[in-house]
Amino acid sequence: MKANKVADTTKKRKLTLKQAKFTKEYLKKGNATEAAAKVYNVKNRNTANSIATENLAKPAIKEAIASAAEKLGISAEYVLGNFKKVSEIHSKTIAKTLGQGENTYVVEEMVDANAVIKSNEMLGKHLKLFTDTIDLTAKVEVIEDVDRKKELAKKLMLSLMNPDLLGSLDF
C-alpha cells in the first residue's frame, strides 16, 4: 500500500520584484499608499491607494510583512504595550515656575500631551472604540423541507406585495 502524500501548504510564496520593493517600502514608511506610489511610479493618489489595497490583500505580501514583523519581534502585544508606556510616561506632569518676584507662580503641565493623545487614539482604534460600524450577526436556519420552503417563499411574496399582511402571517 502506498501512503497518501499530503501537499505541503507551508511553502513560501514568491514575490515579484515590485511586490518585494513594495513590501520593503511599506515596512520602511508604514504607509501602503506612499509605498505603492513610489514603487509603481504612480502620481494619482487614488490609483496608488487601489494598488496598495490590492497588494496588502495578497497572501504572499501578507506573509512577507508578517515574517518581517516576527523577525523584529513586533507583535500586537508589543505595539500596544509601547502605546501604553508612551501614554503613562508622557501623562506625568512637571511643575514649571513662571515669572519673577511677586509675580512668580507654578504651573503643572503634561510632559507631552500630543504623545498621550496619539497613543490613546491608537489604542482606542485597536480596541475599536471609535468605529461607526455595526456588528450584524444573525442565526441562519437551513430549511431542507421543500414544501416548507415553498410555503415560506409564498408568505414572503405576499408580505412584500402587501406589508399590512406581515403581522398576520405566521413564519
- Ordered DSSP codes for 51-84: HHHHHHHSHHHHHHHHHHHHHHT--HHHHHHHHH
Please name the amino acid found at residue 90.
H
Looking at residue 132, its pLDDT comes to 67
CA-to-CA distance for 17 and 8, rounded, in angstroms?
Answer: 24
pLDDT averaged over the chain?
Answer: 77
Place of cell 493618489: 45
Looking at residue 15, its pLDDT comes to 92
Cα dist from 13 to 16, 17, 25, 78, 148, whole Å? 10, 13, 19, 27, 48
Looking at residue 52, its pLDDT comes to 94
What domains appear along the chain, each with residue ranges and CATH number? 17-72 (1.10.10), 76-126 (no CATH), 138-171 (no CATH)
- Joined grid coordinates for residue 86: 508612551
**CB-CB contact of 61 with 81 (8 Å):** no
**Spans of the chain below 50 pLDDT:** 1-10
pTM score, whole prediction: 0.46
Q: What DSSP element (H or E) covers 90?
A: helix 76-91
